[in-house]
Amino acid sequence: MSLDQLLYEATIHYRSRGFPEAALVHLRWTLVTNVKDGKLCLQTAYPGCNRDVGDLIGYFRPCSKLSTLSDLSLADAVFGFSFGYRMKVWSEDVSPTEQSQVIANRVPGTNNAALAEQARRLHLEYGHQLYLQFEIADAVGTSAKIEYQSSRKDQNTAAVTDEFIEHAEKSKETIRTVVVVAHRYHFERCRVILEKKKITGLPPHDQYSGYDPFEAQPRVMSPDEFIVNDFASMAGLASPPNTTAQADA
């Protein structure tokens, strides 16, 4: 299986998601320089991505153009997934992902404030229940009723999704379709994770695509950094022939 083919397919995939050309170049350069003996060797938060190039051929396909004119009133809820965070205070010897730091010093930042406003408007317009990752919930505050906010800890998109679904099941709520409030570049990964849970994810009519100049989470500081980490997470979700992939997102 050819690395050139993976580079081609990944480029088409991320171009269809609206990533800038500079980010596509950065992704290709990163892949070319981090393949050894036909296997990816990326240093990211997603070790499940380090697999044979051949496992990924055919996985990164052009994304379908989900209509931004979808009837969002038909959704059962809003699922909101955060995009980074800011820190009130930095500790010299403790990681910002440590539980003590998440509780004491993590604040939403402008990305999650924008996503919070989007979730709030959807709730007001359609009456959808809000299931929000805690960084977004913090930004919403008391401006809208929140059905569920994720645990106040550092966790990935798949784990947050599991919390949302578990709460809905305990509340005897049937959720088959949701409006996904997420950064524009994060939406597809959220959609894929939900699809694996048999939930349809719809984009809102005005997807947010900004970046916080004071972002604290390294992998969402710019399109260049995010695209590599998104690729790694998506690669971890891919199912090689005759196996079941473990979600790593």
Predicted confidence pLDDT, tens digits, the chain (249 residues): 589 999 999 999 999 999 999 999 999 999 999 999 999 999 888 888 999 999 999 999 998 776 565 789 999 999 999 999 999 999 988 999 999 999 999 999 999 999 999 999 999 999 999 999 999 999 999 999 999 999 999 999 999 999 999 999 999 999 999 999 999 999 999 999 999 999 999 999 989 999 999 999 999 999 999 999 999 999 988 875 444 434 344
Within 10 A of 215 (CB to CB), how many other CB atoms are there?
A: 20
CATH assignment of the domain containing 77 = 3.40.50
User: Residue 178: beta bridge partners?
Assistant: 77, 201
- Give the integer Cα–Cα distance in Å for 88 and 42: 30
How many structural domains compose the chain? 2
Residue 140 resides in a domain: yes
Residue 6's nearest CA partner among 28, 33, 37 is: 28
Residue 247 resides in a domain: no
Q: Are residues 60 and 80 in the same domain?
A: no
- Give the integer Cα–Cα distance in Å for 240 and 51: 10
Residue 248 resides in a domain: no
Q: Are residues 59 and 88 in the same domain?
A: no
Residue 194's nearest CA partner among 80, 83, 109 is: 80
Q: Are residues 82 and 194 in the same domain?
A: yes
Q: Are residues 171 and 107 in the same domain?
A: yes
Sequence-ordered strand ranges (E) for 81-188: 86-87, 106-107, 129-132, 148-149, 177-181
E strand or H helix at 39: strand 39-40
Which pLDDT score is estimated for 240? 58
Residue 114's nearest CA partner among 217, 210, 238, 219 is: 210
Which pLDDT score is estimated for 237? 85
Which pLDDT score is estimated for 69? 59
Which pLDDT score is estimated for 243? 43
Q: At 42, list the tokens.
A: 């990326």
Q: Are residues 174 and 200 in the same domain?
A: yes
Q: Are residues 18 and 124 in the same domain?
A: no
Within 10 A of 41 (CB to CB), how many other CB atoms are there?
A: 11
Residue 159 resides in a domain: yes
Q: Are residues 84 and 190 in the same domain?
A: yes
**Helix extents (H) in 184-241:** 187-196, 223-237
Q: What is the DSSP letter of 52?
A: B
Q: Are residues 53 and 147 in the same domain?
A: no
Q: Are residues 23 and 82 in the same domain?
A: no
Q: Are residues 91 and 196 in the same domain?
A: yes
Residue 60 resides in a domain: yes
Which pLDDT score is estimated for 1? 57
Residue 221 resides in a domain: no
Which pLDDT score is estimated for 242? 43
Residue 249 resides in a domain: no
Q: Are residues 94 and 175 in the same domain?
A: yes
What is the domain range of residue 39? 3-64+227-237
- CA 231-190-124 angle, to 5 degrees, is 145
Q: Are residues 41 and 92 in the same domain?
A: no
Residue 211 resides in a domain: yes
Please state, in angstroms and as integers, the Cα–Cα distance from residue 128 to each residue in 84, 122, 175, 178, following that order.
24, 7, 11, 9
Which pLDDT score is estimated for 44? 87
